[in-house]
């Protein structure tokens, strides 16, 4: 049996443990610092084994997946750098990659690191919200090192297939971070900004699916997103400037009363969306 360690049994780590059941010949070992989380995981059989001792867990581990907050990953890599066995594959699940890949430079030669980011999640956090189907139909983004072995990349691809991902997308940390600023972080800033409107509570009973869709992610995990936004501030603020400019352009043409110009702008934007042809949201509730 091989040993697959998941450090952090929160929403993503817990769901990963559930989704990884039966993944080849791996024993899944879960690590967490929270006693209630460990108890929950033990009682529900989320992993094959759980422990609060990270050092003991990663000893002899073949794969270690860090499913903790970005700053926690950086701290963990530094603290446990000498505890991984040679040939071990270390990976993570977090939404910034440049900072993490740089942090992973501290690992000794012979310990591989492939950045991972499963494009899945909900607005909740904690193991009690974890579910095995979390990753079904989602993209798994990988940022391998130039030196990452083919065997390790292939392992991550089989993992993606096992947990139900739609596909695997390989990219660079910088490209990942620029695109994630736009596709994910900015969506969260929009959601919280919409909720800052003083009319929020008045609108209850009037909100349609577009409002629920846009604001769904506003009930975010403050600690996590503070780190994600901060670790990616330059890309994120650039995206926000672009968005604000586009909003101001729409505001201007609506205020002008020029219906023809408004229709032309809407034709342009909606055409882009149709060309993009994204599948509908695969929300679970």
Number of residues that bind its own copies (CB under 8 A): 97
Residue with Cβ nearer its own copies (153 or 243): 243
**Residue whose CB is less far from its own copies, 24 or 128:** 128
Residue 76 CA, distance from chain mean position: 18
236 binds its own copies (CB under 8 A): yes
Taking contact as CB under 8 A, which single stretch among the options 9-17, 62-70, 133-141, 152-160 is the one that binds its own copies?
133-141
195 contact partners, CB below 8 Å, separation of at least 6: 215, 218
Q: Taking CB under 8 A as the criterion, which residues in 174-203 touch its own copies? A: 176, 178-180, 182-184, 186-203
Q: State which residue, 88 or 122, has the beta carbon closest to its own copies.
A: 122
Q: Residue 128, interface with its own copies (CB under 8 A)?
A: no
Residue 204 vs residues 155, 207, 210, 211, 219: alpha-carbon distances, Å? 47, 6, 14, 11, 16
Q: Which is nearer to its own copies, 60 or 223 (CB)?
A: 223
Which of 25, 86, 150, 205 touches its own copies by CB under 8 A? 205
- Nearest CA to 31 out of 68, 62, 60, 1 is that of 68
CA 54 – CA 33 distance, rounded (Å): 9
Comparing CB distances to its own copies, the nearer of 56 and 264 is: 264
| CA–CA gap between residue 46 and residue 29 (Å, rounded) | 9
Instruction: Choose the stretch contacting its own copies; rule: CB under 8 A; options: 26-34, 59-67, 103-111, 275-283.
Output: 275-283
Is residue 233 within the footprint of its own copies (CB under 8 A)? yes
**Closer to its own copies by Cβ: residue 147 or 209:** 209
Q: Which is nearer to its own copies, 161 or 284 (CB)?
A: 284
| Of the candidates 63, 13, 62, the residue with the CA atom closest to the CA atom of residue 38 | 13
| 161 touches its own copies (CB under 8 A) | no
Nearest distance in Å: CB 97, its own copies:
12
Give the interface segment with its own copies, choosing from 50-58, 125-133, 154-162, 210-218 (CB under 8 A). Answer: 210-218
* 133 is an interface residue for its own copies by CB under 8 A: no
Cβ-based burial of 81 (10 A; exposed 0-12, middle 13-18, buried ≥19) = middle
Question: What residues contact 181, with CB distance under 8 A and at least 6 apart?
Answer: 232, 235, 236, 238, 239
Q: Which of residues 137-156 bind its own copies (CB under 8 A)?
A: 138-139, 141
Pairing relationship of beta strands 49-51 and 112-118 according to DSSP bridges: unpaired
Does position 135 interact with its own copies (CB under 8 A)? The reply is: no
Q: Which of 28, 67, 68, 218 binds its own copies (CB under 8 A)?
A: 218
Which residues within the stretch 98-117 sit at the binding site for its own copies (CB under 8 A)?
Answer: none
Give, as ranges, the residues between 67 and 96 that touch its own copies (CB under 8 A).
Answer: none
Write out the E strands in the chain: 2-7, 26-31, 49-51, 63-66, 89-92, 112-118, 139-144, 167-170
Rounded Cα–Cα distance for residues 96 and 111 (Å): 21
Nearer to its own copies, 15 or 138 (CB): 138
Report the alpha-carbon distance of residue 178 to residue 29 in Å, rounded: 33
User: Could you tell me which of 81, 80, 77, 84 has the C-alpha nearest to residue 61?
Assistant: 84
CB-CB contact of 184 with 155 (8 Å):
no
């Amino acid at each position: 049996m091989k040993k697959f360690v998941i450090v952090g049994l929160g929403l993503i780590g817990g769901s990963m443990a559930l989704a990884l059941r039966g993944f080849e010949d791996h024993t899944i070992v879960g690590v967490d610092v929270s006693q209630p989380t460990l108890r929950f995981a033990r009682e529900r059989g989320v992993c094959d084994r759980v422990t609060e001792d990270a050092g003991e867990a990663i000893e002899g581990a073949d794969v270690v997946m860090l499913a903790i907050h970005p700053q926690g990953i950086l701290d963990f890599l530094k603290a446990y750098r000498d505890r991984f066995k040679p040939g071990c594959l270390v990976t993570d699940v977090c939404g910034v990659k440049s900072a993490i890949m740089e942090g992973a430079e501290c690992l000794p030669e012979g310990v591989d690191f492939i950045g991972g980011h499963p494009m899945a999640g909900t607005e909740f956090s904690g193991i009690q919200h974890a579910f095995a189907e979390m990753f079904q139909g989602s993209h798994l983004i990988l940022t391998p090192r130039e030196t990452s072995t083919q065997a390790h990349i292939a392992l991550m691809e089989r993992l993606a297939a096992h947990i139900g991902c739609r596909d695997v997308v390989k990219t660079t940390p910088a490209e990942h971070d620029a695109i994630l600023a736009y596709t994910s972080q900015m969506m969260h800033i929009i959601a919280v900004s919409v909720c800052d409107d003083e009319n929020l509570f008045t609108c209850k009973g009037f909100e349609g699916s577009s409002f629920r869709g846009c604001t769904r992610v506003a009930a975010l995990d403050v600690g996590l997103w503070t780190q994600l936004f901060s670790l990616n501030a330059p890309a994120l603020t650039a995206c926000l400037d672009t968005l604000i400019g586009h909003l101001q352009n729409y505001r201007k043409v609506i205020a002008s009363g020029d219906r023809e110009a408004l229709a032309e702008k809407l034709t342009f934007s909606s055409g882009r969306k149709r060309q993009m042809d994204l599948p509908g949201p695969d929300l679970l509730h």
